[in-house]
Structures are given as structure tokens and as C-alpha cells.
Amino acid sequence: MRADPPATLATEYADLARAIGLPEARGTTKVDEQARAVRRWLESPASGRWLLVFDNAENPEVLKGYLPARHSGHVLITSRRAHWPGGVQPIEVPTLPRDKSVELLLGRSGQSDAAAAAALADALGDFPLALAQAAGYLAESGLALGDYLGLFREHRADLLRRGAPPDDSKVTVFATLDLAMRRIAAPEAEDLLGLIACLAPDAIPRTLLEQAFDPDGTREGAPPRQLRLADALAALGRYSLIKAGPQVIEAHRLVQAVAWDRMAPEVQARHAERAIMLLEAAFPRQSEDVRTWDACKALQPHADHATHLAERCRTAPATVGELLDRVGIFDENRARIRDAEARFRRALTRSSSRQQWEYL
């Protein structure tokens, strides 16, 4: 039963009434009556054992008139919504193990380059829908796995919008995640997702994200930062866009990719600059001191991701240079000389003037 849009449910039940052969399928043309007849049949012992799937359901209220109250079958609800009322047992669908991702890509595409399949699976974050979409496109287009990977790195947004077979053209990674993001309906949560898109996907410190909110007490009656962050994360978690823990936040890289790609360039630049400012304030200034290394290690992946995006957007060059310099000192003191040199070279090209970007 397609549960989105909700208006299709009655029609789906009416179709089921005809498939089962219920009298109401012939005795009335009223869809609501046929739907009620299906529910009565599901609740009766005569229905036997069955599996009823509500696909892509977002609002528990919509299903109330369709869920059988008592039955001998099973009900499965697929949804991006993470939390449902009592009585529903949630089963999280995780990313695939790498060997299964490779098997899926090779099996559906009909190709044999396991190394290229593993590299593509890594780029897609082992996200099942993305893997199926890519494999279907490869089978339809005849494109080699390695060529698809190269195109994905350069034209990610375009490929995430491309479906596999024509009848599945709307079931794409971009369309699925974009729809979830459109349903957030909480400005601070939407703003937070833009910031999260500028950071590394794993182990994002809650304390870093808290600093994105106005300081406590700047607005009379405003909730504290910690509570505002919790509310924003709850709004994002409601549609499984992030996974929030007591200390750190996680976001799948494709969630970040779609969040980034759907933003206008000026909005991307604003979020990238904000991420740089937050990281520059948080990254220890004495990064050569071994006592700061735990904090440096936790923030380095986020600094790497944010500086690359800020350079691409040509924003906050002086702050980018300062942050790169501190991360470089951290690398140098851990004897990661090549990494340190690369960061120092990037830092040296930054200037306190925005006009420096034009020179570069």
C-alpha cells in the first residue's frame, strides 16, 4: 500500500478489494466503502495469514483508518520517520556491509571490476538506495564502474538525481532525501543541517554545534543553547537525517551531499564560513601541546572538510589560513610531515583580503 501521498491509501485498498474478490468491489463504486470492507476482511479469521506493507508512510495519523485492530497477519511500515507511537517495533535499516555493496553493484550491473565497485561503494557510503540506483543506471547505460565513479566525483548532484529503469525514475537518492528535508518545517533545524553539511559525517561534537546558536540570554525568554540544539536535532532525527547521541552526532555522507547540493551558492558560502568560524574558535591554539591533541584529533576531520568547502566557495580566506596553520602544526608535531607541508602551503596562499581569491 503506497502511503505517500496519503490520499492514495483508499484507492490502494479499493484495488485490494478487487484483487481479493470482496463483494463490495462489485456492489459499490465508493472507494471509502471498499476500503472499509478490506479492513473488515483483514480483521476476520477468514483472511488467514498475510503481510500488509505500508510503503513510505510519514504520518501515523494517516494509517489509523486502515490498520486492522485485530488480525492473524503482519503489518510492515516503511518510513524515514524514526519514532512511532507505542505498539510499533522499529527496525533500523543500516548501510550494507562492504562485501554486500560490491556484490550488489557487480550483480546488477553485470560487470566484474571488484576494485572499482568497492571504490564506488565507498563513495556512496554503502547506502542501499544509492547502490541500487547506481547499479540500475550502469546496467541501462553500459557505463563502466570506474567511469561512473569518476563522473560521480565531478557531477554528484546530477547522478544522484538519475533513476534506474524509467518506472523508478522518481525513486532517486536526491528525490528521497530532498523530500525528507522539505518536511523538516523548523527553521533552526534546516539551518543546522546546512552547517552539518560542511562538517565530516562522523563524530560531530554536540559542543561544537551548540556554538552555532546565539549565546544564552541574548534574547529575553530564549531557551538555552543546549535545549535549542536538542530541538533542532529532534526535528532532523524525526526523518532519520541524522543520528544523535549524548556526545556526538552522525550524518550519512549522502545526506550531507544532498543538503549541500540543494542550496544556492550564496547559502553554501554562508554555511561554509560559519563552519570555519566555529572550528577556528574551537580548535586549540596550542596545537603543538600534547595535552590538546585529543581535542585536535576530534576536530581535524571537520576542519579538513570545512576548509575544502570554504576554499571552493572562496569565503573567509584569512580564517581558513589560520585554521589550516593550526592543523598543520598538529600534524608536524605528530611527525606527519607531508600532511603538515600540504596544509602550510594552502595556509600561505590565504590573505586577509577577499581580493586575494581573485589572484588565486
Burial code of 22-35, b = ≥16 C-beta within 10 A, e = fewer?
Answer: bebbeeeeebeebb
pLDDT of residue 57: 86
Least confident of 53-62, 296-305, 314-323, 340-349: 53-62
Residue 237 shares a structural domain with residue 297: yes
Residue 306 shares a structural domain with residue 239: yes
| pLDDT of residue 166 exceeding 50 | no
Q: Does 177 reside within a domain? A: no
Q: Does 335 reside within a domain? A: yes
**Other CB atoms within 10 Å distance of the CB of residue 298:** 18
Q: Does 180 reside within a domain? A: no
Q: Does 205 reside within a domain? A: yes
Q: Does 115 reside within a domain? A: yes
Q: Which amino acid is at 296?
A: C
Residue 36 shares a structural domain with residue 108: no
Q: What's the predicted TM-score (pTM) here? A: 0.77
Residue 66 shares a structural domain with residue 111: no
Average pLDDT over residues 184-197: 94
pLDDT of residue 329: 94
Q: Does 3 reside within a domain? A: no
Average pLDDT over residues 3-28: 84
Domain boundary among 171, 197, 212: 171
Q: How far apart are CA 124 and CA 131, in angstroms?
A: 7
| pLDDT of residue 198 exceeding 90 | yes
Residue 240 shares a structural domain with residue 292: yes
Q: Which domain holds residue 280?
A: 185-359
Residue 163 shares a structural domain with residue 72: no
Q: Which amino acid is at 89?
A: Q
Q: What value, to the nearest 5°, has the Cα angle with vertex 98 and ends 165 and 164?
A: 5
| CB-CB contact of 298 with 203 (8 Å) | yes
Q: Does 90 reside within a domain? A: no
Half-sphere exposure of 316 (CA within 13 A, CB side): 23
Q: How far apart are CA 246 and CA 338, in angstroms?
A: 35
Q: Does 179 reside within a domain? A: no
The total of structural domains in the chain comes to 3
| CB-CB contact of 95 with 252 (8 Å) | yes
Bridge partners, 77 (sequence order): 54
Candidate ranges 76-80, 142-146, 175-179; pick with highest mean pLDDT:
142-146
Residue 199 shares a structural domain with residue 296: yes
Average pLDDT over residues 222-241: 89
- Strands (DSSP E) found in the chain: 51-54, 74-77, 204-205, 243-244, 248-250
Domain boundary among 146, 171, 196: 171
> How far out from the chain centre does Cα 336 lie?
32
Q: How far apart are CA 225 and CA 240, in angstroms?
A: 22
Residue 138 shares a structural domain with residue 45: no
